[in-house]
Amino acid sequence: MKIKEKNRRTNIYGVGIAFLLGITSCRQTGPIEARVASEPQTFCNPLNLDYRFMKIAEGAGIREAADPVVIPFKGHYWLFASKSSGYWHTDDFNTWEYVFIPDSVLPIEDYAPGLFVHDDYIYYIGSTRGKAMLYRSAHPETGQWEAVKSISANWDPAFYVEGDSLYLYYGSSPTDPIYGQRFNLKTLEAEGKTVACINTYTETHGWERPGARNELPRRPYLEGAWLTAHDGKYYLEYAAPGTEWDTYADGAYVSDNPLGPFKYLPNSPVSYKPTGFLGGAGHGCLFLVGDTYWKAATNSISVRHMFERRVSLYPAGFDTDGYLHTDTEWGDYPLFLPGKGSRKRPKWMLLSEDKPVSTSSSLADYPATQLVDENMRTAWVADSNKEEWVVIDLENEANIAAIQVNYDEYGATWLGRQSGLYQSYCLYASHDGEKWYVIADKSQKRTDTPHDYIEFESPFKARYIKWENKAYTISGNVSLRELRVFGLGSGKKPASLTEFNVEPNAKDACRATLSWQPVEGAKGYVVHAGIAPDKLYHTYQITDSTQIELTGLNADVSYYFSIDTYNEQGVTKGNVIHKLKRE
């Protein structure tokens, strides 16, 4: 793995080729042989970018990136994100190259960049109040940009190009709507009036209500516009209720015209991930890789600062009835890289959650158990950044296919982008916890990879996994948010869930509670919800309960539900669908 600025390459997902269609077995008593894939077929969210530290004093030592725009240009995909001091580009979504941009060249530190491509140029504008300068570059890999024209843009700008017309959408406010404006693409002069396109309606759209459980009475922030044309229709996405919550999501309206009038898409939110290891899937963009749509989205951590965030990619698309949706089910498990294969993901499951774990040391408020609690917001912190280690007991021999090492930044005080930061480590595997075999040697790595992901060329069998620190320059205490092991366990999948209850909330039509009896052998459950039996696009992953209150429903929409069961051997689809009855 290599990370560098400008001309050096950045492999952010690990290295190697993998045969992913099956899990192979190894002898349980013999040596463990594992090779890191040199041409990986998978990745694991969040993206393993060298996220910049905040520049503000209260953000010292806190990484951030949000509001992603992924745009194809000259055979590459370019990723711009808020507060990144530059941007990344890739041609395979496995190896990324970072380009540092000083403020004197481009207002790169503005939030929520807007971009479009026209006549062999990529155009850029940042979020400002009132007028802003539009820049362009024919060779963004060189870091060279030129000022073009000052235009009215405002906050959270997004562009859509059609023929000789350039459409600008903008807005970020708890009171104001998303606005649209048409420009002449050749002259960049505004044509026609500014149009108020959409707004929030928390009375009937439960997911738009602020709060971790959509419980706060105040107005949400309406922001993050993005327009996509598909099959003669125009889909205007927007983000709500706020970037600091797992409920951060994108809804959508649809129209026959780029400036409306727009009609609410009843399966909204169309990008939604309120549960799992890493929550939030709002304020992003849609982009095509071949003929397949992908969604780039903002994830929420928001522990040390509300703008502590990450970026993820999820499969997305339109169904045959024209409903836009994003597939976030298992969205923080290994997924096939964009352009790799026709399936969404290999059938690997998480093997490390809630397993016995031991460490070399731990600070009092950051225990070892937080390494395996499947929560991005918690962390284990060691006493030092020297000879520290972690051992996870998977409790049974399992077929191991991939490992994700998620670093924390406890004790860091960096401001802005820094050179010379890195995390070096080794991974080992064992059958008995005594004799260890090296499975990944990153002791000489000198790159910043806060969410390192390793795919193995072939799965191997082991019971114990060990991480060993070799060098850590982020702070004086090495810390990990989560050490995640993926593959397949031995045994059978759980039985299917044969019955569950749906109870509407008598006082609030945006809420309903689902409950069921435990299923033997199930590690957890995945609730599916949607506006029709074939449109169950919302998913909720649950491991510690047999009920869930859904707080983000639309009051005037009928819903259908099903529930899957899962364990370390795989997923068993639910064969019962219930409808939420509206009075």
Sign (positive or negative) of CA dihedral 234, 240, 243, 248: negative
Alpha helices in 336-483 (DSSP H): none
- pLDDT-derived band of residue 583, with 50, 70 and 90 as boundaries? low
d(CA 16, CA 453) in angstroms, rounded, equals: 11
Domain locations in the chain? 1-44+333-490, 47-332, 501-580
Q: What pLDDT is recorded for position 130?
A: 83
Share of the chain above pLDDT 90, in %: 91
Helix (H) or strand (E) holding 137: strand 131-137
Q: Do the bridges between strand 578-580 and strand 559-567 make them parallel or antiparallel, or are there none, so unpaired? A: antiparallel
CA-closest candidate to residue 577, choices 536, 539, 549: 536
Q: What is the CATH number of domain 1-44+333-490?
A: 2.60.120.260
Domain 47-332, CATH homologous superfamily name and number: Glycosyl hydrolase domain; family 43 (2.115.10.20)
pLDDT category at 15 given cuts 50, 70, 90 is very low
Q: Supply the pLDDT for residue 5.
A: 34
pLDDT of residue 20 exceeding 80? no
- Is pLDDT of 521 > 80? yes
What's the sign of the alpha-carbon dihedral 225, 227, 228, 232?
A: positive
| Segment 181-191, tens digit of pLDDT | 999 999 999 99
Q: CA nearest 408: which of 494, 483, 470?
A: 483
Residues composing the chain: 583
| CA dist., res. 525 & res. 573, Å (int) | 10
DSSP 8-state secondary structure symbol assigned to residue 569: T
**pLDDT at 403 > cutoff 50:** yes
Amino acid identity of residue 21, one-letter, is L
Of the candidates 214, 273, 284, 224, the residue with the CA atom closest to the CA atom of residue 246 = 273
Q: Which residues pair with 311 in a beta bridge?
A: 298
Question: Which ranges in 89-232 belong to alpha helices (H)?
Answer: none
The 3-state DSSP class for residue 371 equals: helix
Instruction: Please state, rounded to an integer, the average pLDDT across all residues of the chain.
Output: 93
Query: What is the side-by-side strand order in the sheet with 131-137?
Result: 114-118, 121-125, 131-137, 146-152
User: Is 240:196 a contact under the CB 8 Å cutoff?
Assistant: no
DSSP for 180-219, please give it. EEEEETTT--EEEEEEEEE---TTTBGGGS-STTS---SP
pLDDT in tens, 250-297: 999 999 999 999 999 999 999 999 999 999 999 999 999 999 999 999
Our CA angle for 257, 289, 52, nearest 5°, is 95
Amino acid at 78: W
Residue 96 has pLDDT above 60, yes or no: yes
pLDDT > 70? residue 500: yes
Q: pTM of the entire structure?
A: 0.94
Contact (Cβ atoms closer than 8 angstroms) between residue 402 and residue 42: yes
501-580 CATH fold: Immunoglobulin-like (2.60.40)
- Per-residue confidence (pLDDT) for residue 12, from 0 to 100: 35
**Residue 156 and residue 298 in contact, taking contact as beta carbons nearer than 8 Å:** no
**Cβ contact 260:528 at 8 Å:** no
Predicted confidence at residue 1, as pLDDT, reads: 31
Banded pLDDT at 60 (limits 50, 70, 90) = very high
